Chain A
Amino acid sequence: MKKLTAAMVAVAGVAFATSASAATLDDVKAKGHIQCGVSQGLPGFSNADDAGKWTGLDVDLCRAVAAAVFGDANAVKFTPLSAKQRFTAIASGEVDILSRNTTWTMTRDTQLGLNFAGVNYYDGQGMMVPTSLGVTSATELDGANICTNTGTTTELNITDFFRANGMSFNLVAFEKADEVVAAYDAGRCDVYTTDRSGLAAQRGKLTAPDAHMVLSEIISKEPLGPVVRQGDDQWFNIVRWSLNAMINAEEMGITSENVNATKYNDVTPGVARLVGKEGNFGEELGLSNDWAYNIISQVGNYAESYEANVTPLGLARGVNALWSDGGILYAAPIR
C-alpha cells in the first residue's frame, strides 16, 4: 500500500497545486465556486436532469450558499458521492458542503469531525403495502415478507420495529432500489419499506401504483441536513443561515417573484433585515448584506424549492411544513 500511496502522492504533487485549508470561505472565494457533495441520483433531492443539470432540494441548498457567497447561484460544482465516500469527501476537503440526504445522528455529529448545519428535510421510514392486503396498520403485519435494501439502517429499523411489537417477519433484501421495487411489484413480498420520500419516488415504477398504499406509521426519525467540517465556525454559520434564510423567507411570504419589490417598498422590519435593507447581518457572516436577497431571488424560498423538487414526487409537506402551518420547520429569526 505504501507504494500505491507514494506513487499517488507523487502524481498529486506533479499534477495539482495544493492549498492549505484554513478558512473554507477564503478557499471557496479563491477558487471561485463551491464544491458540493450530492448523491448519485435521488429523486427530489439531488438528481441530474436530462441535460445533466443537477436539481433537487439538496442541490438548491448548495445553490443558495453559492448565491449568498458569490451572488451567483451557479457558482457551484457538484460531486456525486456514494454513501460510503461521503464522509471522507467532506472530511478531506474534497467538497465544501455535503448536501446528500444525510441523516443527522449523534455518532455522525460527534465522532466524525463533522457538524450538521441544520435540517432541510424531516424524513422517516415508512411502509408500503398492496391495498388488496386489507391492512390498515403496521401492527397487523405479523409474519409478513418484507422487501428492503441491504446494508442500510432501514433493515435495522424494521427489525427493531417488529421486535418491539412482538411480531415475526421475513426479510427479503436486495442491493439496489430497483431490484427491491421489482420484487415487491412481482408479489414476492407483502411490504416494501424505505424512507417515505423514497417510497413516493419509487411508486411510479409499480405496474399498478394506485393498488398500493403507504401505511401511516413512521418507524424512524431521519432528519436530513447539510454537513460541514468541524472547526470552521464561519462556514458553518454561512451554511446554517443560508438554510434559515430560505425558511424565514417562506414564513414572511417573500418569494423569488416578490423579493425585488421589497427593495423599493416599505416593508416590515423583519423583512428589511432579511433582504439586507436594515442592519449588517451579511457582513457579520463575512458576506455582503444582500446575501439573503440573492438566495431568495436566485434560488427561491424553501416552499418554492420544495414545490419544484419534492411535490412532483407526490409528497405533501406533512411535517416539513412551517411550524405556523402545523409542521416542525422552524428557523431561528434573523435579528
Chain B
Amino acid sequence: MTTPHKYVRTEDAPLLPPPATEAGITGWLWQNIFASMSDFQSLGAAIRSLFMILFSLLLVYLFIDQTYGLIDFAILSAVWSDPEGLKREVCWTVQQGGSLPDGWHGACWPFVWAKQKFAWFGPYPSEELWRIYLSLIVGSIGLVWALRERLPYRRQVGVLMLTLYPLLAFILLTGGNSDASFTGIGVWIIVGLALISVGRMGAAGHLGTIFAELAGIFGIVGWGIIALNVVRGIVAVDFNLTPVGTGDWGGLLITLVVALTGIVASLPLGIILALGRRSEMPVVSVLCTIFIEFWRGVPLITVLFMASVMLPLFLPAGVNFDNLLRALIGVMLFSAAYMAEVVRGGLQAIDKGQYEGAQAMGLSYWQTMRLIVLPQALTHVIPGIVNTFIGLFKDTTLVSIVGIFDLLGAGQSAIADAAWSTPVQAITIYLYIGIIFFIFCFGMSRYSIFMENKLSKSRRH
C-alpha cells in the first residue's frame, strides 16, 4: 500500500522532561532565585539584577559565616569533657596557663555539665531530686496523654492534670505538711457550706428577689471556699517528706513552675475576664475593663518589683509570704489580662447570628458560650493564645531580677563561679540556656500549628 505522505509518524512523540528552568531543584532555584538576577534586557533591569546578585552573595556569605561560626564554637572547637577534673584550666589557652592554643574560641561544655543540676533544679537537695523527677514524669505522661489524639480517657486525664496534678506536684516539690490548723479549715468549710445553702435557699426564692439574683454568686463563693480549704487540708497532711522551701528551688524547675502556672491560670481567668468585659452588666463590664487595662498598663517587671520589693513594706512586720508565690500571682494576673484581650478578639469575630441561633434554640447564656461561641472563638485565636503562652514562657526570665533563680538566673549565678572562670564561660552558658528555651518555645509553636490544622481545616485560607 502506498501513501501520498512522505512521512507518517507511527508512534507518539516521546514525552520530554520539562525544561530545566521549570522543574526540579534547578527549576525551583531558577524561578525563585536566579530569574530575578539574570535579566539584562535593559539598563534598568541590568542594574537591578546586579544589585540582586550582590545582595544575594552578601546574604549567603553572612549566613554561611554565622552558621559556621556557631557550629565551630558549639561543636568543632568546643571542649567536651574534663576527665581530669581540671575545671577552668581545661578551657584555658596557653596564655592563660592551660593547654589550648592561643586564640582558641569555643564552648566549654564541661562547665555546663558541672552546672547541669544547678541549672535545672537550682539548690534543690540532691537526695530529694527523685521528687522532681517523679512530678516531671507524671506531668509529661499526663500532658502527652491529654494532648495526644485517639487515646482513651483523654478528657478525664486532662481534667486530672488541671486539678489533682498541681496538688500532687505541690506536695512532692515542697514536701507538704504546711502549718495550717485543721480547726480553722473545718470552720472555713462550714462557712462555705453555709454560703451554698444560702445560695440554694435564695435560688428557691425563700429569701426575696435580691437573693434570688445573687444565688449563683453565693454558690460559687461557697464552693470556692470549700475547694480552697480542702486543698489546704491536703497540703497540711504530713506525708513524711523532707520539706524543701521554695528558696531551694531553682533553674528550669522555676521556669516551668512559673510558666505552667501562668499558662494554666491565664486561660480560664482570661476567658472569664473577656466575657466579663463584653457583658451587658455595667458593673461587671467596668470592673473587668479596669482590671484588664490596669494590668496591661504596667510592665511585668514593675509588677514583679512591686510584689517582691514594695509589698513586704506594706505588710505588717513579721507577716511575709513566699517570694516565689508573690511572683507567681503577679505573673498569673498579668498574663490573664493579656489572654482576656486575645479571647475577646475571638469573641468579636463570632457572627451575631450564632448568638441569635443559640437563643432561638433556648440555650442559656452559659450554654451558648460553652457550646456555641467559645469553641469557635477559641479556635479562631489559637495563634494569639499560643503567642501569649510563648511570650509568657520567655517573660519568666524576668523573675531572675527579683532574686528568684530561674533558668537564666541560675545560669548567671553559675557565671559568677570563679572555679570555672574563662573568657567563654558566659557565652557557653547563654548558648545552653538559649537551646533549652528554643526547644520549649519551638515545641509549643509546632503544637499550635498542629491544633490549628486539626480544628480549623474548613476555615483555613
Residues of A within 8 A of B (CB): 1, 3-5, 7-9, 11-12, 14-21, 27, 35, 40-44, 47-54, 77-82, 84-85, 88-89, 91-94, 176, 178, 182, 185, 201-211, 312-313
Chain A: which residue is nearest B318 at the CB level?
A21
What would 5 more interface pairs be, CB under 8 Å, given A41-B414, A44-B418, A210-B96? A5-B311, A49-B419, A50-B115, A176-B412, A313-B418
Given contacts A204-B421, A207-B96, contact A47 B247 (CB under 8 A): no
Is there an interface contact between A88 and B312, defined as CB atoms closer than 8 Å? yes
Query: How distant is the Cα of A15 from the Cα of B329 in the complex, in angstroms?
Result: 12
Which 8 residue pairs of A and B lie closest in terms of their CB atoms, listed nearest first? A41-B416, A204-B421, A92-B312, A52-B123, A41-B413, A43-B418, A21-B318, A12-B321
B114 surroundings in chain A (CB, below 8 A) = 50
Is there an interface contact between A15 and B325, defined as CB atoms closer than 8 Å? yes
A16 surroundings in chain B (CB, below 8 A) = 178, 320-322
Assess whether B357 is interfacial by the CB under 8 Å rule.
no
| 26 A–B contacts, CB within 8 A, in A order | A4-B306, A8-B311, A8-B326, A12-B319, A15-B178, A18-B319, A20-B318, A41-B412, A41-B413, A41-B414, A41-B417, A43-B417, A47-B418, A48-B122, A50-B114, A51-B118, A52-B123, A82-B402, A82-B403, A85-B309, A93-B317, A182-B423, A182-B426, A202-B421, A204-B88, A205-B425
Residue of A3, A80, A205 touching B294 (CB-CB under 8 A): A3
Q: B298-341: which have CB < 8 Å to A?
A: 303, 305-315, 317-323, 325-326, 329-330, 333
B419 surroundings in chain A (CB, below 8 A) = 49, 312
Is there an interface contact between B313 and A88, defined as CB atoms closer than 8 Å? yes
In the assembled complex, how far is the CB of residue B427 from the closest CB belonging to chain A, in whole angstroms?
Answer: 9
A210 surroundings in chain B (CB, below 8 A) = 95-96
Residues of B within 8 A of A (CB): 88, 93, 95-97, 114-115, 117-118, 121-124, 126, 178-180, 228, 232, 245, 247-248, 250, 291, 294, 303, 305-315, 317-323, 325-326, 329-330, 333, 400-403, 405, 409, 412-419, 421-423, 425-426
Query: How distant is the Cα of A59 from the Cα of B380 in the complex, in angstroms?
Result: 54
B329 surroundings in chain A (CB, below 8 A) = 7-8, 11
Is there an interface contact between B403 and A79, defined as CB atoms closer than 8 Å? yes
Is there an interface contact between B402 and A52, defined as CB atoms closer than 8 Å? no
A79 surroundings in chain B (CB, below 8 A) = 247, 323, 403
Residue of B126, B247, B317 touching A78 (CB-CB under 8 A): B247
Is there an interface contact between B96 and A208, defined as CB atoms closer than 8 Å? yes
A92 surroundings in chain B (CB, below 8 A) = 312-313, 315, 317, 320
Chain B: which residue is nearest A80 at the CB level?
B403
Query: How distant is the Cα of A201 from the Cα of B180 in the complex, in angstroms?
Result: 45
In the assembled complex, how far is the CB of residue A36 from the closest CB belonging to chain B, in whole angstroms?
Answer: 10
Is there an interface contact between B118 and A50, defined as CB atoms closer than 8 Å? yes
Is there an interface contact between B422 and A204, defined as CB atoms closer than 8 Å? yes
Query: How distant is the Cα of A99 from the Cα of B335 in the complex, in angstroms?
Result: 35
A27 surroundings in chain B (CB, below 8 A) = 318
Residue of B122, B232, B314, B323 touching A14 (CB-CB under 8 A): B232
Is there an interface contact between A207 and B423, defined as CB atoms closer than 8 Å? yes
Chain B: which residue is nearest A94 at the CB level?
B320
Query: How distant is the Cα of A20 from the Cα of B417 in the complex, in angstroms?
Result: 38
B409 surroundings in chain A (CB, below 8 A) = 40, 80
In the assembled complex, how far is the CB of residue B314 from the closest CB belonging to chain A, in whole angstroms?
Answer: 6
B248 surroundings in chain A (CB, below 8 A) = 77
Is there an interface contact between A88 and B417, defined as CB atoms closer than 8 Å? no
In the assembled complex, how far is the CB of residue B85 from the closest CB belonging to chain A, in whole angstroms?
Answer: 11
B414 surroundings in chain A (CB, below 8 A) = 41, 48
Given contacts A5-B311, A178-B426, contact A48 B123 (CB under 8 A): yes
Which of B313, B333, B423 has most A Cβ within 10 Å?
B423
Query: How distant is the Cα of A3 from the Cα of B333 in the complex, in angstroms?
Result: 11
Is there an interface contact between B413 and A14, defined as CB atoms closer than 8 Å? no
B311 surroundings in chain A (CB, below 8 A) = 5, 8
Chain B: which residue is nearest A87 at the CB level?
B309
B303 surroundings in chain A (CB, below 8 A) = 4
In the assembled complex, how far is the CB of residue A34 from the closest CB belonging to chain B, in whole angstroms?
Answer: 12
Is there an interface contact between A205 and B247, defined as CB atoms closer than 8 Å? no
Is there an interface contact between A85 and B412, defined as CB atoms closer than 8 Å? no
B326 surroundings in chain A (CB, below 8 A) = 8
Is there an interface contact between A47 and B95, defined as CB atoms closer than 8 Å? no
Query: How distant is the Cα of A93 from the Cα of B317 in the complex, in angstroms?
Result: 7
Residue of B95, B315, B400, B416 touching A43 (CB-CB under 8 A): B416
Query: How distant is the Cα of A43 from the Cα of B294 in the complex, in angstroms?
Result: 41
Chain A: which residue is nearest B309 at the CB level?
A88
In the assembled complex, how far is the CB of residue A318 from the closest CB belonging to chain B, in whole angstroms?
Answer: 18
Is there an interface contact between A81 and B403, defined as CB atoms closer than 8 Å? yes
B294 surroundings in chain A (CB, below 8 A) = 3
In the assembled complex, how far is the CB of residue A199 from the closest CB belonging to chain B, in whole angstroms?
Answer: 12
Query: How distant is the Cα of A94 from the Cα of B126 in the complex, in angstroms?
Result: 25
A313 surroundings in chain B (CB, below 8 A) = 418
Chain A: which residue is nearest B116 at the CB level?
A50
In the assembled complex, how far is the CB of residue A285 from the closest CB belonging to chain B, in whole angstroms?
Answer: 22
Residue of A1, A9, A42, A50 touching B117 (CB-CB under 8 A): A50
In the assembled complex, how far is the CB of residue A269 from the closest CB belonging to chain B, in whole angstroms?
Answer: 41
In the assembled complex, how far is the CB of residue A258 from the closest CB belonging to chain B, in whole angstroms?
Answer: 28
